[in-house]
Amino acid sequence: MELQVFFDKAIYSAEAIKKAAYRFIDKFSAVISENGTSYSCFIKFPDKSTDAQAARLVDEFKKEVLDQDLRESIKRETEGVRNLILAHTFSKAGLIKDE
């Protein structure tokens, strides 16, 4: 069974869609391509899947894309602090100045 899902390029990044698709790698295969103003995601389910199973998985996949989008926002905002904390953690004296 095959299905196509679209995501608005103005809102979602290809990275978020790819990361979400990776998490479903054991459940379906996905080919992502660019399509004008959207990303299209061509999803192929294993032969024995039912319509209901496929619909549920697509639903979960969409939620996962939203989650990945949220993760991107967090990463964008916290990358600097994260590196600083790691530097503190692994510096022997732990005396690196904040700025």
Partner 1 sequence: MSKFQPIEFYKNKTHSYELLPLRFEALDDQSYVVTNMAGEYLTLPRDKLSKLVKHQLTSSDPDYINLRARHFLVDDKTSIAKDLLAIKLRTKYSNLSEFTGLHIFVVSLRCEHSCPYCQVSRASDDKVAFDMSKEVADKSLDLALKAPAQNIKIEFQGGEPLLNFPLIKYIVERAESLRGTKNIGYVIATNLALINDQVLEFCKQHKIQISTSLDGPKDLHNHNRPRKGSNSYEKAIEGIASTRRYLGKYSVSALMTTTKASLGRVKEIIDEYVEREFGGIFLRPLSPYGFALKTKTYAAYDAEKWHEFFVEGLEYIIELNRRGKEFREFYAATILSKMLTSTEPGYVDLMSPAGIGIGAVVYNYDGKVFASDESRMLAEMGENKFQIGHVLKDTYEQIFLSDALLDPIEESFAYSVPMCTDCAFESYCGADPVFHYGIYKDFVGRKPDSEFCNRNMKIFKYLIKRMEEDSFVKQLFTDWAQPNA
Task: Tell me which residues touch partner 1 (CB under 8 A).
Answer: 19, 22-27, 63, 67-68, 70-71, 73-74, 77-78, 81-82, 84-86, 88-90, 94, 98
**What pairing do the DSSP bridges indicate for beta strands 29-35 and 38-44?**
antiparallel
In the complex, the smallest distance separating the C-beta of residue 82 from partner 1, rounded to whole angstroms, is 4
At residue 87, what is the residue type?
A
Cβ distance to partner 1 smaller for residue 50 or 78: 78
Cβ distance to partner 1 smaller for residue 2 or 77: 77
- Residue in the structure block whose two tokens are 């479903």: 24
The residues pairing with 40 across neighbouring beta strands, listed in sequence order, are 6, 33
